[in-house]
Amino acid sequence: MAFAATSLPLSAVTIAIAVYLPKYFASNIGVSLAAVGSAFAIVRLIDIPLDPMLGMVMDRTRSPWGRYRLWTVVGTPILMLAVYMLFMAPQGVSTGYLIAWLLIMYVGFSILHLSHSAWASTLATSYNERARVFGVMTAVGVVGSALVLLTPLLLNELGKTEAEGVQGMGWFVLGLTPLAVALVVWRTPERIAPEVHGSHFKFKEYLGLITRPEMARILLADLCLALGPGWMSALYLFFFTDSRGFTTGEASILLLVYILAGFAGAPLMGRLATRISKHRAAIVASLGYSCVLVTLMAIPKGSMLIGVIPMFIAGFFAAGFTVLTRAMTADVSDEVRLEQGKERAGLLFALTTLTNKVAGAFSIFLTFQVLARTGYDAKAGAVNTPEAIRYMELAYLIGPIVFVTIGGACFVGYKLTAERHAVIRRELEARDAALADDQPFYDEAAILESVTTEPAIPTPLVEPKRA
């Protein structure tokens, strides 16, 4: 639970940036709707090469403070500075201002997110344990998302404006981030696994990691499973206010229900993964989420009692997306470390973060461009035509349903099962012990592909290293 504390500010920043910040700059700061969408897209595209480089540097880091613990500390002040500059932005800032500070914010966010996920993969090593640990991390993140969503609601009750509510979210993140990171660094140890001598990562091997069958499935699925909810988050307030007739406060409450559902959904989807395997649980989550989205147009206008039902169910299933794809990425990192002899968890998690950034860029860019071209007016107090609202409804629903369904389909035929991972872990533990004891290690990889009754003849894989 202490280790999962980093998820508090990370999730709070994610929900505030995705749902509130674009509308805040378009409606209150004075940046045009198309310019806001373009700014987010440009920043994501610039930021794409950053995560793999960060991942490679993290994997090579060795310090008295550990490998990923050190980077957790480094990313904290970067994120905090950018959050202040974005959420406290003065009136009339340029698009360049938005692009610059978004880029810095994502640098700090990437450092914290990558170090946290990679660190988690070294703490939890078994197939089922990882599903539980990532489930706890996501559930704790739900608390951060819920708290940041409550901030504008409370400030609204105190008579503050919508803009002041968004600024309050920024102050909340600024106060929460150093406390959460300090708890993680103080309470969580880090163990750096031994590495095989003479194994050096070459940049051309980067493509090999992407094209690995299991990793390619995870990346495509992660892209689609992030693009669907990201697409919806960009249009969330527009849909529930102009289409479903809720006030901004009521829409925020429904979003809070959606987020809080993840507190139950994340650990329970993790538990389901221990019963039916992670990839099958991901298929269940994606199909359930897509089916629920179909019912959103049936919500009577302004009906909170009915609106909370599909929002809770959708949030329950959505919480499983991150839990399961990150836990499966950790399994792939074990397979890669067995083959290459070096830790690649940071780089592999960087690839999944990269897909989220691509999804974030295209979701905001495409949806805002569609609204701008169909005549939808996003300014506060604007009255839109029924045709413009209809286009907004179609954009809100069709894209997410299609992408999330594709994301689930990516895991049909997934091969890295619990049984195969158990063999990989036995190989790793035996080799780690051999490297630590300076003894030869014997390969049992003959049983990786299939279980057989034929006795395997052990062959030396790693020669003993002498000081």
**pLDDT tens digits, 344-363:** 878 888 888 778 777 766 77
459 — pLDDT class (breaks 50, 70, 90): very low
Using DSSP's 3-state secondary structure scheme, residue 438 falls into coil
Please report the pLDDT score of residue 451 as a whole number: 41
SS (H, E, C) 44-85: HHHHCCHHHHHHHHHHHCCCCCCCHHHHHHHHHHHHHHHHHH
Buried b (16+ CB within 10 A) or exposed e, 375-401: ebebeeeeebeeebbebbbebbbebbb
- Ranges 52-66, 136-150, 281-295, 430-444: which has the least confidence: 430-444
What is the structure's pLDDT at 205?
A: 65
The predicted model gives 238-249 an average pLDDT of 86
**Minimum mean pLDDT range among 252-266, 283-297, 307-321, 398-412:** 252-266
Amino acid at 203: F
Asked whether the CA dihedral 367, 370, 376, 379 is positive or negative, the reply is positive
Q: Name residue 443's beta-bridge partners.
A: 459
Residue 453 has pLDDT above 50, yes or no: no
Q: How many CA atoms lie within 13 A of 199 on its CB side?
A: 16
DSSP summary character for residue 198: T
Over residues 251-275, the pLDDT tens digits come to 888 988 998 898 889 889 988 998 9
| Nearest C-alpha neighbor of 106 from the set 126, 144, 71, 79 | 79
CA distance 421 to 336: 12
Is residue 176 within 8 A of residue 140, CB to CB? The reply is no
**pLDDT higher than 90, residue 466:** no
pLDDT band at 380 (very low <50, low <70, confident <90, very high): low
Binning pLDDT at 50, 70 and 90, where does residue 133 land? confident
Name the least confident of 197-211, 229-243, 253-267, 434-448: 434-448
Domain ranges within the chain, ordered by starting residue: 3-189+207-416, 421-447+456-462
Q: Per residue in 287-307, pLDDT tens?
A: 999 999 989 999 998 899 999
Instruction: Check residue 306 and give its pLDDT.
Output: 93
Q: What's the rounded mean pLDDT across residues 437-461?
A: 44
CA distances from 365 to 24, 360, 371, 447 (A): 16, 8, 10, 48
Q: Tell me, what's the pLDDT at 438?
A: 55
pLDDT of res. 383: 76
373 falls in which pLDDT band (50, 70, 90)?
confident
Is residue 161 over pLDDT 90? no
pLDDT, position 8: 92
* Helix, strand, coil abundance in the chain, percent, nearest 5: 75, 0, 20
Instruction: Please check the confidence at residue 441 and state whether its pLDDT lies above 60.
Output: no
What is the pLDDT confidence band of residue 442, given thresholds at 50, 70 and 90?
Answer: very low
Answer for the pair 114, 347: CB distance below 8 angstroms, yes or no.
Answer: no
Confidence of residue 30 (pLDDT cuts 50, 70, 90): confident
Provide the pLDDT for residue 450: 42
What pLDDT is attached to residue 85?
93
Find the mean pLDDT for residues 190-217: 71
CATH number for the domain running over 3-189+207-416: 1.20.1250.20
pLDDT on residue 378: 67
Q: How many residues does the chain have?
A: 467
The pLDDT, as a whole number, for residue 272 is 92
Asked whether residue 444 carries a pLDDT value surpassing 60, the answer given is no
